[in-house]
Amino acid sequence: MRIAVCIKQVPTREWQPRLNETRTWIREQDAAFELNEPDAYALEEALRLREAHGGEVVVCAAGPARVQKVIGEALARGADRALHVQSDALAAADAVMTADALAAAMQAEAFDLVLTGLQSDDQGHGQVGVVLAERLGVPHATIVMQVEVRAGSGIRVKRELEGGWFQWVTLPLPALLTIQSGINQLRYATLKGIMGAKKKEVRVVAPPDGLEAAIEIVSLSVPEKSKRTHLIEGAPAQAAAELVRLLREEARVL
């Protein structure tokens, strides 16, 4: 089974965002980057499927040269090779532009299964996998919590729905799945894996001509931090009841 895993490099969660001069994106020169955590779960699921059914795992990424760092990390964790659609124009690309860039590079590979994380930690649209499935012309399932490979009859997946409900869906191969975080226990790169990653193939390709974003970012702003004192008056019992209400309905900490 040939499995592709789409990964993304995102700013670390600990970094305090700073905006560029046009206030349309972050100051990348000030940022620290890491592997998008939802994509790490997709990678782990692909590695487990390969261990159970054989084949290869190929990580696919779109972005500037700095993305090579997370590609190396994925290879160190166990992926067999990588495909990098490299362009500075993809640093802040939306879901459609990213999916179009990946689809153009992945078409010739004829993957049996494509996995993506449910969403990215930076933009969080949750649409790259859905659009990519459309571009590749394959069926897809989202928010997947379990994957079962059935010999000769495709795959059976468990999807998470709202309200604690789940849905089982059967799909033919090739197919695309967006993986829910927490589906498995993540593995980390070993010293042997880190050394071996340096010898694995990373194929760098240019994006196709005519890529266009579907979303235009007009302006970004960083949330302002402010303090506010709320004085609760009345008898102790009434004040306590009002405090509980405020904590539950406004602060939403209960």
pLDDT tens for 141-160 read 999 999 999 887 799 999 99
CA distance 244 to 121: 32
Residue 170: its pLDDT value, please?
96
Query: Which residues does 248 contact at the CB level (< 8 Å), separation at least 6?
Result: 254
Residue 216: its pLDDT value, please?
86
Residue 85: its pLDDT value, please?
97
Residue 223: its pLDDT value, please?
77
pLDDT exceeds cutoff 90 at 227: no
Q: State which CATH number among 3.40.50.300, 3.40.50.620, 2.60.40.10, 3.40.630.30 fits the domain covering 2-205.
A: 3.40.50.620
> What pLDDT band is residue 99 in, cutting at 50, 70 and 90?
very high
| Secondary structure of 43-55 as H, E, C letters | HHHHHHHHHHHCC
Taking each continuous run of H as one helix and of E as one strand, the counts in the chain are 6, 11
Joined tokens for residue 160: 């998470």
Q: Residue 150: name the closest of 172, 167, 165 by CA.
A: 172
Joined tokens for residue 155: 């795959």
pLDDT exceeds cutoff 80 at 110: yes
- Segment 44-89, tens digit of pLDDT: 999 999 999 999 999 999 999 999 999 999 999 999 999 999 999 9
Mean pLDDT of the chain: 93
pLDDT exceeds cutoff 80 at 254: no
Sorted by where each begins, the domain ranges of the chain are 2-205, 224-254
